[in-house]
A and B are shown apart, each in its own frame.
Chain A
Amino acid sequence: MNYEIIGITALWTFLYGYVIVASVDFGAGFYNFYAKATGKSNIITPIITRYLNPVWEVTNVFFVFFFVGIVGFYPDTAYYFGTTLLIPASIALILMAIRGSYYAFNQYSKDSNIVWAFLYGGTGLLIPASLSVTLVISEGGFIKEKAGGIDLNLMELLFSQYAWSVVFLAVISVLYISSSFLTFYANRARAFEAVEIIRKWFLIWTIPMLVSSQFVFLGLRSNNEAHFMNAQNYWYLFGLSLVFMWIAVYLIYKKRRYGMAFIMVMLQFLSAFFGYGISKLPYILYPYVRIESVVNESMAFWLTVVFILGLLLLIPSLIILMRMFLFDKDYVQGKED
């Protein structure tokens, strides 16, 4: 078996999982704050709360899983990303800490207030922005090897058109994915007033979504042309992504089959995400870390064993969780309390 393929596939799949779950979570936090600030809180907040309460911890684990896994399979990334990302990653961590804590403070405390809702909602948009910078850096061009070690060129990063287009795409994706899920969830909860509002949010984000993804492609061309050219070879994956998007938008516009619409959104991101990922290979961090730099054989073997055993444990657990809180009609409609 080829460990480098196993490793990167597992990691990329988990990162994809994180993108979806976290987007729903982050977006929900932002919409929750927005609803509070505009006085629509009583319509939207119960839906969001009911969904998030049992799952918020799980979201974070997807992320932990990814970064532990990447250091595990590719220890070199710890060196390159670790050294260069001290400041940007620390900022992301602080934002995540604020978000996670204030979610709980806001949710379980009697003194919940708009400031806490803001801390928890606002950071939800900044985190994807800051995390997406890592993907930008992985395209190369921002890390310099010098005599004493390596350094990140912050200035160049700050004025990079490519970096900003990725950041915008990340933020818009969050709002887009989240609103498609919440439309489905609110509809299941038979909260039709909420459906109307959230559905509009979704439709609003479709155009910026399309535009910013075009900018990302253009940016990639000037930033890492080899990657851009390689992406052409996988044009069908990106084309497929567009098709899925049109189906999703059509369904929600026509107020039909919201569940299917959300699945389409997931597929839209799945194909684009893997298209991006596959065309990026063999580089994990251009040009320093390649996929072949996988750890020693015995570690890769045990990691794979643990990974399979872990999934055997996790998948049934996740199914139980979803059945109890996502697909249980009574729970979703709030008949518990």
Chain B
Amino acid sequence: MEDVLLGRILTAMTLAFHIIYATVGVGIPIVIMVFEFLGIKKNDYHYLTMARRIAKGYTVTVAVGVVTGTIIGLQLSLIWPDFMKLAGQIIALPLFMETFAFFFEAIFLGIYLYTWDRFKNRWHHWLLTIPVVIGSSLSAVFITTVNSFMNTPAGFDLVEGVFKNVDPIMAMFNASTGVRVFHVVVTAYMTAAFFMVTVAAVKLLRSKHTEDRAYHRKGLKVNMIIGLAAAALTLLAGDLSAKFLHNEQPEKLAAFEWHFETEENADLILFGILDEENQEVKGALRIPAALSILSGNKPSTEVTGLNDIPKDEWPPLVVHYFFDIMVIFGMFGLGVSALYFILKLFKREEWAHSRFMLYLYALSGPLCFAAIEAGWFTAELGRQPWIIRGYMRVSEAITQADGLGITMIMFGVLYLILGYTTIQVMVNMFKNESARDSQIAYYGKESLMEQGGRF
């Protein structure tokens, strides 16, 4: 196989694996923060126990997130040395800041996890969630600015293959930074919330600990609120992204949508199969003028088509499928959480917790993760063939070293083993210990008698 393809697969593999843990890492602190807040505010041991149980599972995912993050950090130099040599001149700053944010988070997470019983005033322990949330979200922000730079480079002049007149701040706050950071952070919150929705739904569907029902219903509700809010923001982020791409990266939007001819009243294409020779799309759902409206709020907006872009700068057209998956699966969470609250609004409590609905809720978490993966594949494949759009092609950045094939196999095996063990450990962690047992272990038998624990 060609080296550049091997390098791409290896990078994709590492990122695809890391993103699962990274998303959990950015999103879950918010969930923990909310639950502990509610627990203290309402003096409700269910919420407190929930925050603590989530934190326990979170620790394991953080460990794997840290190591896979370290891997990708070094792999950038190992697989793409020429890229780092060039771009290191200008992306070093956000990378460095990301490390600081991560450091900050690591310190306070360490303190948070081992001081549950150490403070007389519970609010003091809750305050520790603030640096953790700030640290984890900021590391997402900084690392996304790096990726944004690769999409819409700014802040330098390229003179004979070297960056001159470098302005690292302009590079960080490039054209796509705002919209991408917003998209990444809210989808992480959303995914974390729906992941916990899934846990609650599965526990309500098949847990042997029937005494935990009230506990899981409470968890379901709160996570639905977080999920709905984050999903609504995600919708907004998606809309902003479309407008942004229309203005700044038209080739990417055109590839997402198999949009070949530059025209007004451009259709939005959902699903379908492409006949690349004749540029014909079969079996697709066409929404008239929707692409123009998405791009510029009115049907008369002219959307650039791929035929106006040099063919050797086309992204691979397969991105359309990933784009569809991202949109549909992403909307699913919004749909179920809206449905949940509509049923509640009309006092259909028993419907909202019916088995059918619970199955739908249970799907939302995995589908969110699939949407995150598909979204990143959309974004990254959509940037091909560039590694720094307009300046350096992926093929120019690949290492000259031998051994990419064997390296790819080694890491593939590693991720399989780590993924498998994580699932095994997480399942076993909560399978045999009911939330009630945890509550007694954390807060003593008396806690059952106090408000909120009386079930």
- CB proximity to B under 8 Å, residues A299-337: 299, 302-303, 306-307, 310, 313-314, 317-318, 320-321, 324-325, 336
A2 at the B interface (CB under 8 A): no
B95 touching A72 by the CB < 8 A rule?
yes
A108 touching B60 by the CB < 8 A rule?
yes
B71 at the A interface (CB under 8 A): yes
Q: Which of A32-40, A55-63, A199-207 has 4 or more CB atoms under 8 Å from chain B? A: A55-63
Complex Cα gap A100–B21 (Å) = 14
A306 touching B106 by the CB < 8 A rule?
no
Complex Cα gap A102–B74 (Å) = 20
A75-B84, A94-B414, A299-B168 known; A314+B92 contact, CB < 8 A: no
> Chain B residues near A108 (CB, 8 Å)?
56, 59-60, 425, 429
CB-CB contacts of A91-108 with B at 8 A, as 1s and 0s? 101101111111111001
- CB proximity to A under 8 Å, residues B83-122: 84-86, 88-90, 92-93, 95-100, 102-104, 106-111, 113-115, 117-118
Complex Cα gap A65–B106 (Å) = 13
Q: Which of B305-313, B337-345, B398-406 has 4 or more CB atoms under 8 Å from chain A? A: B398-406
A81 touching B110 by the CB < 8 A rule?
no
A298 touching B167 by the CB < 8 A rule?
yes
A89 touching B74 by the CB < 8 A rule?
yes
A254 at the B interface (CB under 8 A): no
A100 touching B66 by the CB < 8 A rule?
yes
Q: Would you call the interface of chain B mostly helix, strand, loop, or mixed?
A: helix
B87's nearest neighbour on chain A, judged by CB, is A75
Q: Which of A69, A72, A86 has the most CB of B within 10 A?
A: A86
> Chain B residues near A56 (CB, 8 Å)?
63, 110
> Chain A residues near B403 (CB, 8 Å)?
86-87
A76 at the B interface (CB under 8 A): yes
Q: Which of A144-152, A187-195, A225-233, A261-269 has 4 or more CB atoms under 8 Å from chain B? A: A144-152
- CB proximity to A under 8 Å, residues B395-440: 399-404, 406-407, 410-411, 414, 418, 421-422, 424-425, 428-429, 432
> Chain A residues near B404 (CB, 8 Å)?
86
> Chain A residues near B115 (CB, 8 Å)?
324
> Chain A residues near B85 (CB, 8 Å)?
75-76, 78-79, 82
Complex Cα gap A298–B410 (Å) = 39
Q: Beyond the given A60-B106, A299-B89, could you list 7 further A-B residue pairs with CB under 8 A, ordered by the A residue number?
A: A58-B110, A65-B103, A68-B92, A79-B85, A89-B78, A307-B96, A320-B107
20 contacts across the A-B interface (CB closer than 8 A)? A53-B113, A54-B110, A56-B110, A65-B99, A75-B84, A75-B88, A80-B81, A85-B78, A86-B401, A86-B403, A104-B60, A109-B428, A295-B89, A298-B166, A299-B89, A299-B92, A310-B100, A313-B104, A314-B103, A325-B110
Give the A-binding residues of B (Cβ under 8 A): 56, 59-60, 62-64, 66-71, 73-82, 84-86, 88-90, 92-93, 95-100, 102-104, 106-111, 113-115, 117-118, 131, 163-164, 166-169, 399-404, 406-407, 410-411, 414, 418, 421-422, 424-425, 428-429, 432
Give the B-binding residues of A (Cβ under 8 A): 53-58, 60-61, 63-65, 67-69, 71-73, 75-76, 78-87, 89-91, 93-94, 96-105, 108-111, 148-152, 295-296, 298-299, 302-303, 306-307, 310, 313-314, 317-318, 320-321, 324-325, 336
